[in-house]
Amino acid sequence: MGDIIHLLPDNIANQIAAGEVIQRPASAVKELLENAVDAGATEIQLIVNDAGKQLVQVIDNGKGMSELDARMCFERHATSKIKEIEDLFHIRTMGFRGEALASIAAVSQVELKTKRAGDTTGTYLEIDNSTVRKQEIVACADGTNIAMKNLFFNVPARRNFLKSNPAEMRHIVDEFIRVALSFPHIFFSLTSNGQEVFHLDKGSLKQRILQIIGTQYNAKLVSVQEKTDYMNTFGFVGKPETAKKTRGDQYLFVNNRFIRSPYLNHAIMSAYQELIPSDSFPLYVLFLELDPVQVDVNVHPTKQEIKFEDEKIVYAFVQAAVKHALAQFSITPTLDFDLDPSIQHLDAVSKPVTEEKKASVASSSLYQSFTQKHQAHFIESKSSNLGDWKNFFTKDESVEPASTGFEFEKPVGVGISLKEDCTLIQVFQTYILAATNRGFVLVHQQLAHERILYEKLSAAASGRPVTYQRSLFPATVELSTQDAVLLEELLSDLLHLGYLVEPFGKDTFVIQGSPADLEQGNEKMVIENLLEQFKHFSSDLKFSKREKLVRSLAQQQAIKSGNSLSSAEMAALVNELFACSQPGVTANGSPTYIEFQKEYINSLFRK
């Protein structure tokens, strides 16, 4: 009997190896986009046909390749990114195993055009089955244009495993978004079957996020920013009201690489505790930066998992950073920044390495939030009397204390009285500044109005209906069947709240009347937004239909930030706010005003 072991031919070995790296069109998308980023491109176009099954093409304006490199890059373990094993531990570029292009070339038909800025001509290559079929000198733009065609044309079994086009396209969009979020200063576009699906101009991280999740979130993102020696956390989280029933926009990046981490997701979720219903998902786009030495790279690079040297610290930092950010805008009954004692005892927290380090850690805001109670908000829990306010305003006695989603046992912020001769000042067309008996308050006009309307509408919902006024030019609303069904259900409650809406043929409604004390003209938008909001209400189960309606309407009708107010309007708003039973928060838990008391102001000046 002869010997039976033989080496697999290269192309077969490559095909087998490729299976790990390239599982579906989206894997190629990820690798090719990352290569373009690594090449220093500032503009990257992704083109796919047939959900990437027929074509995945990436065009970049990066540094391009020499003729020899263009040949070399398809060899297995060909990389310009690591030279020694040590490099693996410091790697900051994206992919790092030099296997992506070799894998792609093993399972598809590749066309590459590439040119360095300094060269007069570029290189054109055609490769399939790991074999170069054609090589030419070409005239082409600086950068790299690589097309992967007919994925798995030579591995039919794998091709059959691909999912439907919509499913594969979803994977592609996911990968595209992850890379696009990581590099907001790079232009990205995605064209699918000739249609441009994304066109993402260069900008700030916030702009990039809004380009992707929708500009309607503009006022709903809270910036997270905590820097310590150990780790830097930045990005944005959604205000509690943006939490959704379905896990949607949640993105976590470590050293700019998208990862999945149920553990850190838990840290973020726990920062939202009591701010959102436990079965809803907040939006977040968070970036963690830490010394690569603290991150275990032995985990397979195409997997999205990651190991930290010290998970507990990372957990604590992430949780605190998000809590801290949420506290900037939200009053929550249980906010506290005391670090879990078990974590406080960990070496890296309790013993910064050097005195110098210690000083810099101690001065970081995160550390302070660990060690001292948050100072920015005053939550007056003692119920003192309404004092001068009572005389100042005639409180509408018909207003019943409204139930909010949060349990504030006592009214918030009582004990304040306005300086009688005080001039109200509008700042940024958003805030109203007013001097009080013990300092000053900064009232958020939109949120304050929301609170006022919420209490009025709640009272109306359970009492005398809001009077409506017939519209002279009734607006027509056409809806999707789904929305029409929803609106149908709301008609009687809407009437109670001042909107007379009548069905008018299939999926169409006419708004015959709107609240008498509201300016006409916005009804259509109000109803449309209301439905949108209603659908996205995160707390379906917790609130009754009416409660949801009241909340949505209060938000819709509130005077928006950005509107100038006259002195009389400001006075009316501030007065009505402090006549509310719970002036301090909106129904969603956002603060309506912040009080700066004298002692606090003094302390800022070290007086």
Q: Which residues bind Mg ion (CB under 5 A)?
A: 35, 95, 100
> Which region among 94-102, 219-227, 455-463, 567-575 touches ligand ADP (by CB under 6 A)?
94-102
Which residues 2-31 are close enough to bind ligand ADP by CB under 6 A? 31
Tell the smallest beta-carbon distance from residue 9 to ligand ADP (Å): 20
Which residues 63-82 are close enough to bind ligand ADP by CB under 6 A? 63-65, 73, 78-81
Tell the smallest beta-carbon distance from residue 95 to Mg ion (Å): 3
423 and 363 Cβ atoms separated by less than 8 Å: no
Residue 91 as a binder of ligand ADP (CB under 6 A): the answer is no
Tell me how many residues contact ligand ADP (CB under 6 A): 23
- Among the listed residues 301, 306, 304, the one whose alpha carbon sits nearest the alpha carbon of residue 21: 301
> Which region among 91-99, 227-235, 256-264, 539-547 touches ligand ADP (by CB under 6 A)?
91-99
Residue 297 as a binder of ligand ADP (CB under 6 A): the answer is no
Structure tokens at 554: 């209060």
> Is the CB of 146 or the CB of 412 nearer to ligand ADP?
146
Helix H or strand E segment including 358: helix 355-363
The distance between the two most distant Cα atoms of the chain, rounded to a whole number of Å, is 108
> Residue 432: which of ligand ADP, Mg ion, none does it interact with, CB under 5 to 8 A by kind?
none
Tell the smallest beta-carbon distance from residue 237 to Mg ion (Å): 31
Residue 100 as a binder of ligand ADP (CB under 6 A): the answer is yes
Q: Is the dihedral of CA 266, 173, 95, 159 positive or negative?
A: positive
The three-class DSSP label of residue 301 is: coil
Q: Which of 27, 129, 144, 555 binds ligand ADP (CB under 6 A)?
A: 144
Query: Residue 480 CB: number of other CB atoms within 10 A?
Result: 10
The residue at minimum Cβ distance from Mg ion is 95
The three-class DSSP label of residue 364 is: coil
Estimate the share of the chain in helix, then strand, then coil, as percent rounded to the nearest 5. Answer: 40, 20, 40
387 and 415 Cβ atoms separated by less than 8 Å: yes
Tell the smallest beta-carbon distance from residue 104 to Mg ion (Å): 10
Query: Residue 488 CB: number of other CB atoms within 10 A?
Result: 14
Rg (CA), the chain: 30
Q: Which of 25, 52, 62, 513 binds ligand ADP (CB under 6 A)?
A: 62
Side chain identity at 328, as an amino acid letter?
A: Q
Which residues 27-46 are close enough to bind ligand ADP by CB under 6 A? 31, 35-36, 39
> Is the CB of 99 or the CB of 168 nearer to ligand ADP?
99
> Residue 63: which of ligand ADP, Mg ion, none does it interact with, CB under 5 to 8 A by kind?
ligand ADP
What is the rounded CA–CA span in Å between residue 45 and residue 31? 14
What is the rounded CA–CA span in Å between residue 607 and residue 605? 5
> Which region among 57-65, 164-172, 187-195, 530-538 touches ligand ADP (by CB under 6 A)?
57-65
348 and 316 Cβ atoms separated by less than 8 Å: no
Tell the smallest beta-carbon distance from residue 504 to Mg ion (Å): 58
Return residues touching ligand ADP (CB under 6 A).
Answer: 31, 35-36, 39, 60, 62-65, 73, 78-81, 95-102, 144
